[in-house]
Structure 1
Amino acid sequence: MVRIGTHNVNGIRAALRRGFHGFWSKANADVVALQEVRCRVADLPAGAFGAYHATLDTGHLAGRNGVAVLTRTPPARVRSLTDTVVSVDAAGATERPAERIVNRDLAPFATEGRYVEVDLADAPLRVASLYLPKGAAWPYEEGTEEKYLRKMRFMKGLARHLTSSRRDAAADGREFLVMGDFNIAHSKLDLRNWRSNQKSEGFLPEEREWFGSVLGPRRMVDVVRDLHPETDGPYTWWSWRGQAFTNDSGWRIDYHLASPGLARAAVSGFVGREDSYEERISDHSPVVVDYAVA
């Protein structure tokens, strides 16, 4: 059995103060994908990732973005949108060459710390951490066309990459798993107030259509939705403002998308929603799935 989780930490230093280690020590996951690490390597607190080995792409935008995959042992292979990532373990941080993902639509995002994938050394899996741009509600909001188009371009490139990487992983005898913050609620089950958000970024018709296009019995499978087919949510993000968390007025925007073989191996999954507003680690809660993989 392999336990795998994903967590948008909304800043690793703040998350550490709020209980990051407590949750993941108890969860005892074998692999954890992180998004919005939002910290330069030089500013990482000592022991930030505990006993895990971290493969980290911080990007070049100070205080923004940053993705990582935490594993028990150093990965066998690393791919990213750039040529270099950072390996962090108990001995410290070192740069590591990465295989650059060649994709004309993803290339403009190479310095933003939005995607990294690894081949595990101790299981036949390829695992990726994704932080998809938030986008904008253009044309419903004036002056937001550029942000809207950037997200659409990233999505276009990502769809192609998911297909190519899944096929490449299969040729190597591996299943493929992409986790992270997609900034899209796919269906009406994936956000509480869907009626009032039909012109909001993250629930635009074209975003939802794109999300559906990458899913399928021979493409990628939304694992948590497969495990909870008729459930509202389980939500993964709530605004810090107002009573959204208390009233569970959330969005499900953090996903495990798995190749079909791995999806069939999913045994159980849950969102680690904190018991109270005061105990929140981030504005996102972790999503954890157990897979029956040796």
Structure 2
Amino acid sequence: MPSAKPLRLASVNVNGVRAAFRKGMGEWLTGRDVDILALQEVRASTEDLQGLLGDEWDILHDPATAKGRAGVAIASRRRAHIHRVELGAADFDTAGRWLEADYEVGDRVITVVSAYVHSGEVGTPKQVEKYKFLDAMVERLPKLAEHSELAVVVGDLNVGHRTLDIKNWKGNVKRAGFLPEERAYFDRFLGAEGDEGYNAGAGLGWVDLGRRDAGEVPGPYTWWSQRGKAFDTDTGWRIDYQLATPALAETMQRYTIDRAAAYDERWSDHAPVVVDYAI
């Protein structure tokens, strides 16, 4: 008998979903055969999302408290039977940044999180909020793994873990997104570079599928500044992830970054990260 079709999970920071659709996101989605679509920086209403995606998609959406900011969503061809949005202390506003959903796939359940970590800014309250969010992730990830052996946190996590993840890493060691303090959180999630078991059970045990697929090579990057020639020269950052539990990581069949063919064909400053899972 032919093998079952893998589950295709795509994640992308759309940098405003309405603008992304005006620039060609719909055409990309039509041709990609996606089963579950995780979005970050939606910056639109649930009604806008439903109108753009169509009625065949079941949509979960957690908008930001401030209108027109952040916002995360998960759209699927199948209906979620549980979803959660709380993260961290009750007085910590994470609206529009963390959305969990469970989906039945055959006789198994996969838990998907669409996450949008703060970009941060050194020496400002924005960086304090970023550390609060990363602290909350440290607390949540073990509970997430206990909840489901097939769990994945996807999205724009706004940290390059290693020097391989940023083209111009030497020029960014004192900037948000590549601070040693930020990268240390990813050491906790995945293990530190050089540690026994790095990305294979170290730390909290999560697996960075992008690094597992690419190996020890620069990039491949997922975000490029809109300024200058960053995209043309591939001066990028790898800050968009799919972090999976070990059991789910073992089912990965294919990992792809859908980098646009040319600068003027981009519909976001981020590229989608697409993974096929044999479940």
Alignment TM-score, normalising by the size of structure 2: 0.89
Q: Any idea what SS the aligned residue of 1:211 has?
A: helix
1-structure distance, mates of 2:161, 2:177: 8
Partner of 1:278: 264
Partner of 2:194: none
- Aligned pair partner of 1:125 in 95, 110, 132: 110
Deviations along 1:134-188, whole A, 9 cap, x unmatched?
11123xxxxx2x2211111110011110111111223xxxx10010000000111
1-structure distance, mates of 2:8, 2:23: 23
- Aligned pair partner of 2:165 in 182, 190, 194: 190
Amino acid at match of 1:49: L
1-structure distance, mates of 2:215, 2:171: 23
Q: Does 1:180 align with 2:155?
A: yes
Task: Please give the residue correspondences for 1:69-108 in structure 2 after superposition, counting only pairs within 5 Å.
Answer: 69-81=74-86, 101=87, 103-104=88-89, 107-108=91-92
Task: Please give the residue correspondences for 1:122-271 in structure 2 after superposition, counting only pairs within 5 Å.
Answer: 122=105, 123-138=108-123, 144=124, 146-170=125-149, 175-216=150-191, 217-218=200-201, 219-271=205-257
Q: Any idea what SS the aligned residue of 1:273 has?
A: coil
Partner of 1:49: 53
2-structure distance, mates of 1:7, 1:268: 17
Amino acid at match of 1:131: Y
Alpha-carbon spacing, 1:107–1:253, altered in 2? closer, same or farther (3 Å): farther
Name segments (4+ residues, structure 1) moved above 2 Å: none
2-structure distance, mates of 1:232, 1:287: 16
Instruction: Name stretches of at least 5 consecutive residues in structure 2 with no aligned partner.
Output: 1-5, 192-199
Q: Does 1:38 align with 2:24?
A: no
Q: CA deviation at 1:231?
A: 2.4
Q: Any idea what SS the aligned residue of 1:32 has?
A: strand
Q: How many residues align?
A: 260
Instruction: Name stretches of at least 5 consecutive residues in structure 1 with no aligned partner.
Output: 82-100, 139-143
2-structure distance, mates of 1:32, 1:243: 29
- Aligned pair partner of 1:114 in 79, 91, 97: 97
Q: Tell me if the contact between 2:157 and 2:239 (Cα under 8 Å) persists in the aligned partners.
A: yes
Alpha-carbon spacing, 1:76–1:250, altered in 2? closer, same or farther (3 Å): same
2-structure distance, mates of 1:46, 1:125: 23
2-structure distance, mates of 1:14, 1:108: 29
Amino acid at match of 2:245: S
Query: Alpha carbon RMSD of aligned pairs, Å?
Result: 1.5
Q: CA deviation at 1:107?
A: 4.7
Q: CA deviation at 1:62?
A: 1.1
Q: CA deviation at 1:26?
A: 1.2
